[in-house]
Structure formats: C-alpha cells, structure tokens
Amino acid sequence: MNAWIEKQRHLIDFTLASLARRKAKNLGLLLVYALLVFVLASVALYTHALRQEAAQVLKQSPEIVLQRMVAGRHDLIPPGYLEKIGRIRGVQSIEGRLWGYYYDPVVKANYTFMAPAAEAVKPGTLVVGPAVARSRGLAPGNTISFRAYSGKLFSFTVVGVLPHASELVSADLVLMGEADFRAFFEYPAGQHTDIALSVANPLEVRTVAAKLASALPDSRPILREEVLRTYASVFDWREGIVLALLSAAIFAFAILAWEKASGLSAEEKREIGILKAIGWETGDVIKMKLWEGGLISLTAFLAGFVAAYLQVFRFGAPLFEPVLKGWAVLYPRFELVPAIDGLQVATLFFFTVFPYMAAVLVPIWRAAITDPDSAMRS
C-alpha cells in the first residue's frame, strides 16, 4: 500500500515537473479552464437561486387565480361571479382581488397598486414597497400625490414601507384601502380584478379548475403549478440564452483543450519511448497522464466553482446579473439566498472534468503502446 502511494506520488512529481517546463502555457490553460467553469457555474448557481426564490414565493400564492376574458383580453370580474363559484365543492376560500398598474411619470416607472383584503389600510393612507420608497424618497409620515388616469389628483399619507427583506416580491407595491383604490381608478362598485381561490386538497385543483371553466365559460383559471412551471422556464430560458452565447467560448475552449491534451508532440512521443525504455510500463505512462489530466481538470473545476460561488453569493453577481435577471427602471435590490443544486454541480463536474480526462487519455493510449526500443533507434 505504501509503495503504491509512493509510486503515485512519484508519478505526480514527474507530471508536475514536466508541466512546469511550459509553465506559462499550462498555467494559461488552467486559468482559461477555471474561467470557463467559473462562468458556467455562475450562471447555474444564479439561475438556480432565482428559481428557488420564485418557488418560495409561489408556494404561498393562491392555488387558482381566476381571470375573466372579454374578446381575448383580461377584463373585470362582474358582481355575482363570487356567488356562483361558492357552490363549487372543494373550494376552501374565495377572495375577489383588487389590483392594477399605475405609471408614475415622475420616475418613469410602473407601480403595482393593490387593495389587500387581508390587510386593512386606512383611507387616505398608503403602504409602499421599498423600491417605490427609494425612488420617490418616501418615509412614513410623508405625503404623496398621484394624478389618477381620470385626471384627478389624489393625496395620500405614507404610513409604512414594506420590509427590505421582501423587496424581491414587493418592490413596486403600493397598498391602499379598498375605497381609495376604487375611487382612484374609478373602479365600478362590486367588480374585482380577479378572483383568488384556495383549494385545500392539491389533488382537487385540476377538477376545480375544470368546473370553474365550465361554470364560467368566459373565465381563465391560472393554476399555481402552471405558474411555477412558467417561472422555471423563464429562468431556464435566460440561462439558456447565456449558455447559447457562451457556447462559442465553450467550443473554443474544447478545441484548445483537445488540441493541448490530445496533440502529442514528437517530443512527448520521444519522452514516452525513453520512459518505457528505462523501465516504465505502459500502465505507468497512462497513470502519469491520468494524474496530469485529473490534477488540471479537478483544480480548474474546484477553483472555478468556488470563485463562482463567491461571485454570485458574496459579491452580488456583478458579471452576469444584467443578463440573467434582466433590468427595470424600478429594480428591486435583493441578495440572493444561496441555493446549490447538487445535481447541477454534479452535471457541471461531469461535463467539465471528464472530457478533459478523455482528451488526455485517448492519444496517450496510442503513444504508450509504442515499442520501447524506439529510444535506442532514434
């Protein structure tokens, strides 16, 4: 056992000594390799964390949201719909929601106005999201005026700012009382934006949705699981775009690595001949090369991954943030909660480490079975 370890260490010594001969070239390769892992891992970590975040929010969102469609467009829910739904079995609670968008020309951004049913906001007051507070410079106690779409000017007192921790979901929210909401948007009494339904048994969600669709043919039920899927695909899509853009770089590196690892120079072939002549077995030469490939690819993978983690979760992902999460006038400031997907890491490991090992191994196999007497004949 000791002899085995000592032998492997000898092989590593040798492979490192021969790598050190072309220090700049090999360090350059290692650097580019690590950089590639870094970029891929950054993208993977970032999108995964964002996906997790969306899933976390959606876990709490209503099982079904019911919209009404008129001529293929989202329309208000007329009175009486809530009552009709009330008779469908399996529905635990029904809630008519009031929300809409308001364009603020001052900061050229859209806000989401909302009259929450669960939270009574006193007439004449507002609770604003952190990004709204930031862009308009608001603090509790301030007064703010919005010109409604009707042209009338409304003044409100800010009584609260939503916590920074919730910024990812609440950045642009403006919460107000129901009466204020209806007055501001001249919303007809008794009508709602949409209806949120909660269904106790997850297995019944689809049945309930089907019943809703047949009871109210002009409605469109949006299921939470569909939304979840959509979000996953939104970030998959962004990840995919980045990877597609990167694919040129990936291929370039693949060519470089293949060329470097597999293109045995005449010099290296001669050296293998010498090693075999002085008593190395074919297996020893292959093991030596495996160590070379293993050390380079493992170092590159680990270094690249750690750097990617630090970049994404410690330094706020300055490199890929814009393309991965997009941008907006009113952008939430948030720190991603780290989430590492083991399978994703394993996949990354597999696709970065193994091809390089193979590229190292394939040509050496051919070279290593050359006759040892070539050293004598040269």
**Interface residues for another protein in 114-133 (CB under 8 A)?**
114, 116, 118-119, 129, 131
Residue 28 CB, nearest approach to another protein (Å): 17
Choose between 112 and 258: whose C-beta lies nearer to another protein: 112
7 interacts with another protein by CB under 8 A: yes
Q: Tell me which of 154, 187, 258, 309 binds another protein, using CB under 8 A.
A: 309
Q: How far apart are CA 301 and CA 233, in angstroms?
A: 27
Query: Could you tell me which stretch among 11-19, 136-144, 149-157, 254-262 binds another protein (CB under 8 A)?
Result: 11-19
Length, in residues, of the chain: 378
Query: Could you tell me which stretch among 150-158, 184-192, 280-288, 351-359 binds another protein (CB under 8 A)?
Result: 280-288
Residue 329 CB, nearest approach to another protein (Å): 7
73 interacts with another protein by CB under 8 A: yes
Residues touching another protein: how many (CB under 8 A)? 112
The alpha helices in the chain, defined as continuous H runs, are 2-20, 23-59, 81-85, 130-136, 167-170, 178-185, 205-215, 224-262, 266-277, 282-309, 321-325, 342-368, 374-377
SS3 state at 146:
strand
Q: How far apart are CA 360 and CA 291, in angstroms?
A: 10
Measured on CA atoms in the order 77, 83, 88, 89, is the torsion positive or negative? positive
Q: Are 35 and 249 in contact (CB under 8 A)?
A: no
Residue 169 CB, nearest approach to another protein (Å): 5
Q: How far apart are CA 353 and CA 331, in angstroms?
A: 38
Query: Could you tell me which stretch among 83-91, 108-116, 152-160, 180-188 binds another protein (CB under 8 A)?
Result: 108-116
Residue 107 CB, nearest approach to another protein (Å): 11
Q: Tell me which of 186, 218, 259, 371 binds another protein, using CB under 8 A.
A: 371
Residue 351 CB, nearest approach to another protein (Å): 17
Look up residue 217 and give its DSSP letter. T
Choose between 162 and 261: whose C-beta lies nearer to another protein: 162
Residues 341-370 that bind another protein (CB under 8 A): none
| Cα 294–Cα 298–Cα 301 angle in degrees, nearest 5 | 145
Choose between 198 and 207: whose C-beta lies nearer to another protein: 198
325 interacts with another protein by CB under 8 A: yes
Residues 133-152 that bind another protein (CB under 8 A): none
Q: How far apart are CA 294 and CA 354, in angstroms?
A: 9
88 interacts with another protein by CB under 8 A: no
Q: Are 289 and 360 in contact (CB under 8 A)?
A: yes
| Cα 10–Cα 15–Cα 19 angle in degrees, nearest 5 | 150
Q: How far apart are CA 117 and CA 130, in angstroms?
A: 21
Residues 164-223 that bind another protein (CB under 8 A): 165-173, 175, 194, 196, 220, 222
102 interacts with another protein by CB under 8 A: no
Choose between 258 and 321: whose C-beta lies nearer to another protein: 321
Choose between 319 and 375: whose C-beta lies nearer to another protein: 375
Residues 226-265 that bind another protein (CB under 8 A): 226-227, 230-231, 234, 237, 241, 244
Q: How far apart are CA 364 and CA 286, in angstroms?
A: 7
Q: Are 367 and 268 in contact (CB under 8 A)?
A: yes
Choose between 143 and 218: whose C-beta lies nearer to another protein: 218
Bridge partner residues of 173 (DSSP): 112
Q: Tell me which of 192, 260, 276, 289 binds another protein, using CB under 8 A.
A: 276
**Nearest-10 crossing angle of helices 282-309, 266-277:** 130
